[in-house]
Each structure stands twice: as structure tokens, then as C-alpha cells.
Structure 1
Amino acid sequence: MTTAIWFILLGSLLLVVGFTAAYIKTVPATTAIVYLLIGFVLGPMGFHLFHFNPLEESALMELLTEIAVLISLYCAGVKMPAPVTFKRWRNPLQLAVISMTLTVGLVTLFGYYWLALPLGAAVLLGAVVAPTDPVLATEVQVRHADDNDQLRFALTSEAGMNDGSAFPFVMLGLGLLGLHDLGDSGWRWLVMDVIWASGAGIGIGILAGCGVGWLVQKMRTTFSGTEFLETFLGLGLIAFAYGISLWVDAWGFLAVFSAAVALRHTELRLSGLKQDYSDATSGETYPGDKPQPIAHIHESSLVFNEHLERLAEILLVLMIGGSMFWDSWSWRAVGFAAFLFFIARPLSVHIGLLGTRAPMRLRNLAGWFGVRGVGSLYYLMYAVQHGLPENIAMELIHLILVVVALSILVHGISVKPAIARFWRSRRSG
């Protein structure tokens, strides 16, 4: 398609979504489903007006997905409750570490024995699909900073953490394929890719977030009437924390999420405010759906960044739809998606939450809503850009596109009825 047609398409799509946003909220569907179906219609599965080749455009795809994930991680982080306590964060920590590791292991076994992939490719496949997505999982994310929904909190914070904690497994898969130095008996991988990169990423994020929060509060108290471009400060924090992490070989996704959490925590602590949970339960809303406005950087920068997140979602989901052919829907790919959705994810969640007080209905929904999306595409494009052999790259692209497309469809259709039923059962119980 020409540039003019692309602008007309995107403009028309934005207008349609803008006018129908209220209606979409009332039906069992999400905006991502709309974008995907339009991609199907205009792409090779429909009128073939355009075709996006992820292998040939892997560098562009890596950059776009990287930006989308970074913005989404910041938006998720600044909505996390403060203060940060182990009791509150225990469930998502276990989901992001234990459940994700189990998912990588189960997918590796499936990929190696059932899909007949090389061991390194099977590990890489597990690492790519293991993290849940912070971009496309809007309906199961916390709505705002004072949202007291434990299910949304667990899924949002899990997505924020495991989009960084999956990186060591990506590097392990690349190492087993001979594309990354694991060291003797894997010691370099353990020390540098697991311990150092993860710990340094979290530390850099905390220092950056606390530093920006402290500096803003200091300038406001020292110089009365000081005004800031909050959006620039939010984007600057994302870029700074991520850039420092890349510079010292730390995981930047962990740094950005940690920076956003630390920024909110610092601003609330220095201003003397406490977490304020709403308990509204009437009408079609859920508990905590009415945000309490707070004049802070983390709140002021959130709206603009969420708009950027939605724009990135439109573009990337259209690309996914325009990347697929009718023969992409092979039984091999659909079978793998079914294994991931119905076996690997639920099993890993239930095992990962052993020993916690999480109710069974929360575990069941958390096991189902492991949305796969932009994060998986980023890791796959990252691997391609780091020398993944073309035959393996084509196979993994085929599998991942089907997984992401099916996740958008089945999770998108089921999320609103399932969440509504979850809250009805809580109120009646």
C-alpha cells in the first residue's frame, strides 16, 4: 500500500475506535480483536493489500515492539500500589519467577519431543512465550493506582516483572544454539545473565525512580510555583533507566518497571500521602474503578504514555494480522497454542502459587489469562537480530504468530465475561 493509503487506513481506524469505544466496552471483545481482524482482511488472508514479513523486517519489528513494551512497563509500574511489601507482592513474584520458569521448562519439553526442535530452539521458544504481555492485556491490568483488585494486580505486576526475567532464558536458548557465550558449565550465564543483569536492572530502576521522585519534590518545595513537563519527565525516566541498563549489560525491562514503581512510591512517601483504595461496587464497574486524582509526575505522565501504548498496539496488531496466511493455521501451531493455553500456563500457575493463600478462583483465572503478545514478538525479533538461523527463525515465527493471534482472540473474547463472573462470585461469596 502507498503512504497515502496507510494514513487513510490508520486515520479511519482511529476514528472508528474513538467513536465506538463506549460500545466496545459493553460487548465481549477488545479493540485488539478489531485491529487483528482488519489486518486479516487487508493482509494475505483477505484482499492482500499489504503483507508484512517479520523475518525481512525484523530490525523494524524489534524496535517497534521494544518501544511498546517499555512504555507499557512504565504505565504498569506507576499504577502499582505503595508501599511495596513482600506480603502484597508475594503472589506476582512467584508467578514471575516460579511459574514462568515452569512454563519455559514445559514448553521446552513440548518443543523438543513433540515439535522436534533442537534443544536450544526449544528453550528459546519457551522463553519467548513464557512472559505474559503488558501491552495487549489491558482488560486484566490494574485500572489506576488505587485499584484494589487482587487479580488485576497479580497479572499486571507479573507482566511487569517477567518481561525482564525471561531474558536469561532467551540468552540460554541462544547460547545452546551457539549464538551466545554461556561460559564453562554455564557459569558465565548464571553470573552475568541471571544474577548480575537481573539484580543490576532492578537496582538501576530503583535508584533512577527514587532520584527523579526526590528531585521533583525537592524543586517543588524549594522553588514555589515550579512547573514541569510531566510527560517529558516520564519518557526521560524510561529512556534514562533503559539506557543505563543497556550500558552495563543489565536487563532494561526490569529497570523501567522498577523505576516506575519506585517513582510512585517515592512521590507518595515524600508528600506524606498514603494509598487510597476506592471500594465502589455499583453499576457496571468493578471495585476501584474510580481513580483519585493525585498531582504527581507518575499520575500526570500516565495519560500520555497510555495513549502512546494504544497507538503502538494498533500498529503492531495490524502487522500481526498482515503477516499471516491461511496456511499459517497449521495443526502444529494451533496444537502448540492449545498446549500453552490449556496445560502449560494453568499448570505452572497452580504449582507456582502453592503455599500462598490465593483463592482457587483467582488461581484459575490467573492460569487462563496468561496473555501473549508484543513481549513475545520482541524476544523473537531480538533472537533473529542476534543471528538465529533462518530455518529455525521461520519455524518460531510461524508458531509465535499463531499463539499471539489466538491469544488476542480467545483471551479477548473471554476476559470480560470471566472478570464479571469473578466479581459476582466474590460479592455473593
Structure 2
Amino acid sequence: MDLYLIIFIIIGAAALAMAWLPTWLERFSFSYSILFVVVGLLLYLLPINLPEPDPLRENEIVVRLSEFCVIVTLMGTGIKINRRFSLKNWSVPFRLVSWTMLICIGAMVMMGWWVLGLSLASALLLGAAMAPTDPVLAADVQVGPPSDEVEDHARFSLTAEAGLNDGMAFPFTWLAVAVALQGTDPSNWLGEWLWYDLLYRIVVGVGVGYLMGRLLAYLVFRLPKKSHFPETHDGFVAISATLLVYGLTEMVHGYGFMAVFFTGLTIKNYEKNYDYHRELHDFTDQIERMVVVVILILFGGSLARGLLDSLTWQGAAVGIGLLLVVRPLAGMVALWGTKISFTEKWVISFFGIRGIGSIFYLSFGLEQAHFAEPDEIWAVAGFIILLSIVMHGVLATPAMEYMDRRLNTNKQA
């Protein structure tokens, strides 16, 4: 039997199912992510010579596939946020990508170093990879497609956090790489890390994203009104812009993740053309779903092929502690003093979903330098991602419905 055609059939059937599954599974409070991980696990238990899903042996493929999925998602994330960007309007997301993320990274580094016995570089890499909230698998707790509705605090904050911290986690991934390459003496890498990896790359990422967003929005919305420049209503402009902006930003060594997100955000805020924004968002969403299907099946396959073989009870305890203790507490600390209801604070703090962004950062770090204990790092990360997919996938819908009921009750009171 032709393996090439079998792969076509699997991807085609899974992608076709995505046309109905998200809507159908809403009534069962069950995320499609769980289903495709199970599908991948079962497929790789069959006697079929499917492509190798081992993230260590196929690290470059993992990097590129997860990278593409994240940048496409970040463009759609920026386009669907309705709240105008400002320090005041975005104060809660800024708290989450600073205090919450730093606490999560610090806690994971300490647990990785002291509890798991990892080297400092490996603990840093694990902390950087596990800290950011995933923009890809968190659709159930994020804002919906572009509209003129005012988002609630929880959905807006989780969406904006996911858009921002996939870039903000990058400096700490580079920090882990620096420690792995140059040792633990800060004099070897601290100065360069501060001005280059932390400051320069972020500024360039935001700057290129904003400028390209303004330019693209001008070409799409304003120029056709002022001249004979043709209008476009094609959704693929979003993907084209994603690849263009990401490539340009990475060429000048900025953070492409941040650039893509700010491009989408700038386009959305340039002109309130909700119909075309919806077209752009929907196209990125469709591409994202196809890639997500492949990644989730491969992730399930990696579980079947022994991704968790190196997992110890200490590693499992660290993963459970991150999702059930560290992230919720770190979120509540960051939200202290904000004028948000306790229910919304709890939702924002609890739903720090880990997923494909974490897969990218981990595989990217392992591509840049040699880290001790790569099997154990992947085992702990894989367990955290699996637990997050299952736990958050089951609880997201009922939790958001409960929050909506509480908010409506409070409005009516």
C-alpha cells in the first residue's frame, strides 16, 4: 500500500472533520484537540510505516511546522482583538506577560533544577518553553471572530496575552541557549542578552509589525479610495502578509512572532471594516486548523512511540504543579488590585493553556545548542502539554459558560 497516499487520506479526512467538529463538540464540552491526539496515538499503534514522530530525531521538522502554525495563528489573533491598543486598555495583558510569565519561568527553573536535577540551561529552556500561554489551542477561551462587540475582560486578556507572550518568551529561550553555549558565568552573556535579545529584538519586532501593518492597511483600505489602485477582498492577503512580515523581521533579527501579531493588530485598528477583517481572520483560521490537525496527530504519535518514557513521578508532579498551582497563583498575583470580578480573575489565571507554542520553543532551543537531558525535558514538556490539552479542553466550555452566567446576573442585579 502506498504510504504517500495513506498520508494524504489521513490528513484529508482529519482536516475535513475540522469543518464540523469544533461546532459539534461544543455541546459536549469537549475540545477537538483531545480527539486528534487520540487519533494520532491510535494510528501510530497500527502496523503502518507512518513518518517518524520523534521530536528529537526530527527536530528541524518540528521547529518549522510549529513555527508556521504559530505565526499564522498570531496574525489571526491580532486581527480579531477589538480593543484598541494602549497602555491603559491593555494593562491586564501587560501584567500577564510580565509578572505572570516571569513567575512561571522562575518557578519552572527552580523545580527543574532542584526537583528534577536538570542543568541550569535545561531548566531555563524548560521554563521558557512552558511559560507562554498558547495562541493555537486556546480558541475556546479567546475572543471570537472580528466584530463590533466589546470583549469581556477574560476573553480579551487571554487572547492578548497569547498574542504578546509568544514573543516575550523568546528572550528567555535565548538566555537558555546562551547559558548552554557559554556557561553559567553572567559575564559571558548578560550584556549581549540584555541589549540584543531582550531589547533590540523586541523593539524591532514591534516596530516592523506596526510599520508593515500601517503599510498593508493603507494599500488595502485607503489607496483604492484615493486612486485607481484595485481593491481586494481576498482572505489570502492575511497569509501573504504573515509570511512577508515574519521573513522581513527575522532577516533583521527581530522577533517575527511579535511582528506578525502587531501587524494583525494594526490592520484591525486602522479601519473598522469588520467584513474584510472577518475574511482575513477566517482564512488564517482555516489554514491554522489544517496545520493543527497534522501537529496534534504527530503529537499523539509521539506519545505512542515513547515520548513519555523518560517521565518520572517527580516530572509529573512538576507538570501538575505548574498547571494547577503555579500558573493560577501567578495569574492572581498579577491581577491583584485590578477592577475585575473574582470569577474573571479565576478564569484568566487558570486557563494558561500550553501547546504548540511550547513545542516550538523547546525544539528551537534544542536546535540552537546542546542541552543535557533532552529526553527528560521532552518527557516533562510532553506531559504538561498533554495534561493541558485534556484538562483545559474539558473545562474550557463549562467554565466560560459559568462566567458568562455570572456576568449576566451581575449586570441584571
Q: Taking structure 1 as the reference length, what is the TM-score of the superposition?
A: 0.88
**Structure 2 residue corresponding to 1:366, chosen from 339, 348, 363:** 348
Residue number in structure 2 paired with 1:162: 165
The residue identity in structure 2 corresponding to 1:171 is W
Instruction: Verify the 8 A CA contact 2:63 2:363 in the aligned structure 1.
Output: yes
Whole-Å Cα distance in 2 between the matches of residues 39 and 355 of structure 1? 44
Whole-Å Cα distance in 1 between the matches of residues 36 and 241 of structure 2? 30
Figure out how many residues of one structure are paired with residues of the other and give that number. 401
Q: 1:99 to 1:341 in 2, by over 3 A?
A: same
Q: 1:295 to 1:22 in 2, by over 3 A?
A: closer
User: How many Å apart are 1:303 and its aligned residue?
Assistant: 1.2
User: How many Å apart are 1:138 and its aligned residue?
Assistant: 1.1
Matches within 5 A, 1:79-90: 79-90=80-91
Whole-Å Cα distance in 2 between the matches of residues 240 and 20 of structure 1? 32
SS in 2 for 1:395: helix
Q: Does 1:309 align with 2:288?
A: yes
The residue identity in structure 2 corresponding to 1:243 is G
Residue number in structure 1 paired with 2:301: 322
Whole-Å Cα distance in 1 between the matches of residues 390 and 182 of structure 2? 34
Q: 1:316 to 1:20 in 2, by over 3 A?
A: closer
User: How many Å apart are 1:233 and its aligned residue?
Assistant: 2.5
Instruction: Verify the 8 A CA contact 1:62 1:381 in the aligned structure 2.
Output: yes
Instruction: Verify the 8 A CA contact 1:96 1:158 in the aligned structure 2.
Output: yes
Q: Does 1:110 align with 2:111?
A: yes
Instruction: Verify the 8 A CA contact 2:34 2:390 in the aligned structure 1.
Output: yes
Residue number in structure 2 paired with 1:8: 9
**Structure 1 residue corresponding to 2:369, chosen from 365, 369, 387:** 387
User: How many Å apart are 1:223 and its aligned residue?
Assistant: 3.3
Whole-Å Cα distance in 2 between the matches of residues 13 and 242 of structure 1? 28
Whole-Å Cα distance in 2 between the matches of residues 424 and 136 of structure 1? 24
Whole-Å Cα distance in 1 between the matches of residues 13 and 206 of structure 2? 41
Whole-Å Cα distance in 1 between the matches of residues 16 and 64 of structure 2? 26
Give CA deviations for 1:288-347 in whole Å, capped at 9, x if unaligned.
xxxxxx343x33222111000111110001111000146546423321210111111011
Q: Does 1:174 align with 2:177?
A: yes
Residue number in structure 2 paired with 1:414: 395
Percent same amino acid at aligned positions? 28
Residue number in structure 2 paired with 1:199: 203
Residue number in structure 2 paired with 1:250: 254
User: How many Å apart are 1:85 and its aligned residue?
Assistant: 2.6
SS in 2 for 1:78: helix
- Give the gaps of 5 or more residues in structure 1: 274-293
Whole-Å Cα distance in 2 between the matches of residues 21 and 168 of structure 1? 34
Q: Which moved more, 1:17-26 or 1:198-207?
A: 17-26
Residue number in structure 2 paired with 1:332: 314
Give CA deviations for 1:188-238 in whole Å, capped at 9, x if unaligned.
100111111111111110111011112223321123583326334222321
Q: CA RMSD in A?
A: 2.1
Q: 1:169 to 1:212 in 2, by over 3 A?
A: same
Q: Which moved more, 1:18-27 or 1:318-327?
A: 18-27
Whole-Å Cα distance in 2 between the matches of residues 82 and 12 of structure 1? 37
Instruction: Verify the 8 A CA contact 2:171 2:197 in the aligned structure 1.
Output: yes
Matches within 5 A, 1:206-225: 206-223=210-227
SS in 2 for 1:142: coil
Residue number in structure 2 paired with 1:151: 154
The residue identity in structure 1 corresponding to 2:223 is M
User: How many Å apart are 1:383 and its aligned residue?
Assistant: 1.0
Q: Which moved more, 1:61-70 or 1:341-350?
A: 341-350
The residue identity in structure 2 corresponding to 1:341 is L
Instruction: Verify the 8 A CA contact 1:182 1:188 in the aligned structure 2.
Output: no
Instruction: Verify the 8 A CA contact 1:183 1:189 in the aligned structure 2.
Output: no
Q: 1:376 to 1:48 in 2, by over 3 A?
A: farther
Give CA deviations for 1:142-177 in whole Å, capped at 9, x if unaligned.
102234222111001000000000001011111111
Instruction: Verify the 8 A CA contact 1:214 1:267 in the aligned structure 2.
Output: no
Q: Does 1:343 align with 2:343?
A: no
User: How many Å apart are 1:80 and its aligned residue?
Assistant: 1.2
Residue number in structure 2 paired with 1:352: 334
Instruction: Verify the 8 A CA contact 1:82 1:264 in the aligned structure 2.
Output: no
Q: Does 1:94 align with 2:73?
A: no
Q: 1:144 to 1:17 in 2, by over 3 A?
A: closer
Whole-Å Cα distance in 1 between the matches of residues 182 and 7 of structure 2? 37
**Structure 2 residue corresponding to 1:227, chosen from 226, 231, 235:** 231
Matches within 5 A, 1:25-40: 25-40=26-41
**Structure 1 residue corresponding to 2:377, chosen from 372, 391, 396:** 396
Whole-Å Cα distance in 2 between the matches of residues 64 and 411 of structure 1? 23
User: How many Å apart are 1:20 and its aligned residue?
Assistant: 4.5
